[in-house]
Structure 1
Amino acid sequence: MSDESTPTRGTTPKSLSRRHFHKATVAAALGAFAAPAVVRGRNLNERLAIACIGVGGRGAGNLAEVSSEDVVALCDVYDEAVERAAGSHPKARKFKDFRRLFDDLKGYDAVVVSTAEHTHAFATLPALQLGKHVYCEKPLTHNVWEARRIREAAAEAKVATQMGTQIHAGDNYRRVVELIQAGAIGPVKEVHVWVGRAWGLQSPEEAKANGDIVSVTDRPAGSSPVPSGLDWELWLGPAPARPFHDVYFPGPKWYRWWDFGNGTMSDLGSHWIDLPFWALKLKAPSTIEAFGPPAHPEIAPASMKAVYEYQARDDQPALTLTWYQGAMKPEPWTSGAIPKWDSGVLFVGEQGMLLSDYGRHVLLPEDQFSDYQRPEPTIPSSIGHHAEWIHACKTGAPTTCNFEYAGWLTEANHLGNVAYRVGRKLDWDAAALKATNAPEADPLIRREYRAGWSLG
């Protein structure tokens, strides 16, 4: 049930969290992000009552990060995950179906959602509707319409929200944002984002070469024995029914199947496209076009690219942002014009370039910027990605990956896959939530759910 994938390169968010707790107080670190929202009047020493939905894999990591508070409920469709988590939280109530948790659990303040991608919205929306604070793993939802639904529900609920884009808490991203917004390389009209991961549709030989944990080329014809303690029907949730097979579970095997996830685009896009989204204050693209091997009806691609066009705004010229995954790389990388980092973000400005990954960045050409005086830091160090959210739950202070920001980022990432699967350039009307020239994209923007499941 859990989201297993996490950032693996550069400085880890966990180590950043520990360091920054020693560098600054909670109030000092968060105070400069924005004016606080309405303060809830909660004592900072008072512990939150938190329900955790999805407690294996990535969920276990999230559980550990909020264990300074009172964990009052553990929920997972897999008994083994709940029992393991209960070893550290013996007083917490145990649930298998999160719908029952929302029906039966009383006296809690906040919810952490770490299920598989296709059930994120179904665990998040009722929590918001009940007025609970929510931390949800990335990507925020399984499709574009769900992202819009959650973003709007969060705005109405006026609670503390945070999507699990942990690298956003790193100092490196903050320095890059400051440089871009200070005009270090001039107006930016072009951004390239690439990741080396090549998980998805590929042969056994390709999977081995790419470090994948499984090779799949089609839906299995048969089934595997359901692991003891796993409720497969609940794990499927709103997704179309299919027999259990070990190519889907445990995670992160599921994330390459369209019914359950969206492959590398929505998974790592949440981390890597986050940087230009933040630095350039992006929201909805005007067009999206994707390239790669023919789209498979069941399985996300290992390699592909998506091209987003953003219209000019008052403080930003028209922009082209291109995403590359797997074997596909930007031309400056293939030609050797920039260092061949395994994954990275390249901002191309009128007066130079900036190359970044999770833990480092460089202004290019380096000799041109050898005497460059960097701006004084204006974005304070984070107290930790989870700690920000906990602090916000107690005080009403802002978080940096709240669902307003994360909703737009998630919509954009999903649109790359929609364009890829449809096989044509999309003209995007964000207000109407429609690709105006491609009605065939509608079922990918908002899908039908299995009987008994609805977001209303």
Structure 2
Amino acid sequence: MNTPSRFSRRRLLAATAAGTAVLAAPRSLFAASPNDRMKVAFVGVGGRGGSNLGAIGKSGAVDVVAVCDVDSRFVDHAATTHSGARKFSDFRKMYDAVGNDIDAVVVSTTEHTHAYATMPALQLGKHVYCEKPLAYNVYETRRIAEAAGKAGVVTQMGTQIHATSNYRRVVELIQSGAIGDVSEAHVWVSRAWGHQSEAEATKHGDRLFVDKRPKESMTPPAHLDWDLWLGPAPERPFHDVYFPGPNWYRWWDFGNGTMSDLGSHWNDLPFWALKLDAPKTVESSGLPPHPEIAPASMTSVYEYGARGELPPVTLTWYQGTHKPEIWKQKGIPQWGSAVLFVGSKGMLLSDYGKHVLLPESDFADFKRPEPFIADSPGHHEEWIRACRGEGTTGSPFDTYAGPLTEANHLGNVAYRVGKKITWDAKAMECVGCPEAAPFLRREPRAGWSLG
């Protein structure tokens, strides 16, 4: 099953419906026989990568042919389970060595290297599963989404909650009009990691995170290739405030804090249910922006225009100590992290595993719509089956994961420039705000390129 697929199943079906002949569809487009196993390389095999390797690598449809990580401990551990896999520390060398011998790649590196580990696979015509967020900034996200669309391969971003039954039932309720026209959505998460005041740190029982780049350096552990870990990010000496994870994710050079991380899961629900696309404006607030570290607490307000028959809607994101006013006034159940939809006929409150229509008394006799979104076989299994020509994925890079990731990044862009931004999605720029440009795109360190 080594033939690269240049057509997605979605595109094949569309072409067939239009009466277009598909003369030489690759065999990986169609259902494979039980003995036709997919050859997969894994980039990043510790932490989330280890979980992805365990979930995908155990599939009877998959052969693990390569494992790659900048931490040799993880590579060696992965190889004990998959003894036939070749071992690498540099994914660029991995692609040179096995790029023509694989069908798919799973990327589970740190956020700032996602795009650089993913792009070669797309350029080679390989299916890709990439952890969230899809890429480090808006520019990289757009490049990956466009490359995925051009390649026509099967892609999936690691938004595992997207595959749950709870999210599907919520989407059905919203899209069938259970609470009427939705004018507001509120998303809040209680995680408070990053730059924060002493009061916030005390409230959350967290030590005040270091708010300055260390002046002293440390010797990297022998099992870590620090230069490869830095990848395209600006060079700096090793220090344990960056490594191991999740320390790195708070530093702007390597990640984008809670918004790009948990936003991938929590904003996923309103993005899906309300058919959101590119926001018209975004305005964020919190402590004054720190030059090095993402905020622990922040609020971002997104304004979306009409989408077909759907009316304009405001989506507000809260993290850390920030919460919606209705939550603070105890007008709804005090769930620590949740999504609240506000409609003309009522409200719907949801978290990862449950949801409720509010006020409950108004919906005592409510009859739910018949399910119209099929349950997923599981987020990883969904991708594996789609790679074999069986169904589609819920979070493909070009049509869904890319726009969702871009929107999340824009919340941080608005926060860092300190004012409301107007977003021109086509031009990929904040209108009349040139100071936003460095937060939308950065030049990679020498030796690194998206091609």
Q: Report if TM-score (shorter chain) is over 0.5.
A: yes
Question: Could you tell me how far 1:412 is from its partner in structure 2?
Answer: 0.0
Work out whether residues 163 and 376 of structure 2, in 8 Å CA contact, stay in contact via their aligned partners in 1: yes
CA–CA distance in 2 between the matches of 1:448 and 1:249? 23
Work out whether residues 276 and 307 of structure 2, in 8 Å CA contact, stay in contact via their aligned partners in 1: no
Q: Deviations over 1:233-287 (max 9, x none)?
A: 0100000000000011111110010000000000000000000000011110000
User: Partner of 1:227: helix, strand, or coil?
Assistant: coil
Q: Structure 2: any 5+ residue segments left out of the alignment? A: 1-8, 16-24
Q: Does 2:30 align with 1:41?
A: yes
Q: Deviations over 1:329-353 (max 9, x none)?
A: 0011001110110000000001100
CA–CA distance in 1 between the matches of 2:53 and 2:201? 31
Q: Does 2:50 align with 1:55?
A: no
Task: For 1:63, give the aligned amino acid.
Answer: L
CA–CA distance in 2 between the matches of 1:214 and 1:65? 36
User: Partner of 1:155: helix, strand, or coil?
Assistant: helix
Equivalent in 165, 177, 182 of residue 171 of structure 1: 165
User: For residues 25-424 of structure 1, what are the structure 2 equivalents within 5 Å?
Assistant: 40-45=29-34, 46-67=36-57, 68=59, 69-105=62-98, 106-202=100-196, 206-207=200-201, 210=204, 215-395=209-389, 397-404=391-398, 405-424=400-419
Work out whether residues 203 and 215 of structure 1, in 8 Å CA contact, stay in contact via their aligned partners in 2: no
Work out whether residues 113 and 120 of structure 1, in 8 Å CA contact, stay in contact via their aligned partners in 2: yes
Q: Structure 1: any 5+ residue segments left out of the alignment? A: 1-30
Q: Deviations over 1:138-196 (max 9, x none)?
A: 00000001111111100000001000000011100000000000000000010000000
Partner of 1:438: 433
Q: Deviations over 1:380-428 (max 9, x none)?
A: 1110000000001111631111112000000000000000000010010
TM-aligned CA distance change 1:64 to 1:214, over 3 Å: farther
TM-aligned CA distance change 1:226 to 1:213, over 3 Å: farther
User: Partner of 2:375: helix, strand, or coil?
Assistant: coil
Question: Could you tell me how far 1:314 is from its partner in structure 2?
Answer: 2.3
CA–CA distance in 2 between the matches of 1:423 and 1:145? 20
Q: Percent identity?
A: 65
Query: Structure 1 length as normaliser, TM-score?
Result: 0.90
CA–CA distance in 2 between the matches of 1:142 and 1:318? 28
Moved more, 264-273 or 442-451: 442-451
User: Partner of 1:437: helix, strand, or coil?
Assistant: coil
User: Partner of 1:66: helix, strand, or coil?
Assistant: helix
User: Partner of 1:77: helix, strand, or coil?
Assistant: coil
Q: Deviations over 1:75-99 (max 9, x none)?
A: 0011011011111011100000000
Task: For 2:29, give the aligned amino acid.
Answer: R
Task: For 1:40, give the aligned amino acid.
Answer: L
CA–CA distance in 2 between the matches of 1:383 and 1:44? 19
TM-aligned CA distance change 1:394 to 1:56, over 3 Å: same
User: For residues 5-24 of structure 1, what are the structure 2 equivalents within 5 Å?
Assistant: none
User: Partner of 1:85: helix, strand, or coil?
Assistant: helix
Task: For 2:146, give the aligned amino acid.
Answer: E
Partner of 2:443: 448
Aligned Cα root-mean-square deviation (Å): 1.9
Greater RCO (CA < 8 Å, at least 6 residues apart)? 1
CA–CA distance in 2 between the matches of 1:206 and 1:336? 21
Task: For 1:56, give the aligned amino acid.
Answer: G
TM-aligned CA distance change 1:208 to 1:384, over 3 Å: farther
CA–CA distance in 2 between the matches of 1:214 and 1:102? 41
CA–CA distance in 2 between the matches of 1:35 and 1:337? 47
Task: For 1:261, give the aligned amino acid.
Answer: G
User: Partner of 1:177: helix, strand, or coil?
Assistant: helix
Question: Could you tell me how far 1:209 is from its partner in structure 2?
Answer: 5.1
Q: Deviations over 1:98-156 (max 9, x none)?
A: 00011111411000000000000000011000000000000000000111111110000
Work out whether residues 214 and 247 of structure 1, in 8 Å CA contact, stay in contact via their aligned partners in 2: no
Work out whether residues 286 and 310 of structure 1, in 8 Å CA contact, stay in contact via their aligned partners in 2: yes
Partner of 1:21: none
Partner of 1:17: none
User: Partner of 1:201: helix, strand, or coil?
Assistant: coil
Work out whether residues 197 and 208 of structure 2, in 8 Å CA contact, stay in contact via their aligned partners in 1: no
Question: Could you tell me how far 1:36 is from its partner in structure 2?
Answer: 8.6
CA–CA distance in 1 between the matches of 2:91 and 2:292? 27
Number of residues paired by the alignment?
A: 425
Question: Could you tell me how far 1:313 is from its partner in structure 2?
Answer: 2.7
CA–CA distance in 1 between the matches of 2:381 and 2:159? 13
Question: Could you tell me how far 1:210 is from its partner in structure 2?
Answer: 3.0
Moved more, 125-134 or 313-322: 313-322
Partner of 1:20: none
Task: For 1:347, give the aligned amino acid.
Answer: F
CA–CA distance in 1 between the matches of 2:200 and 2:223? 33
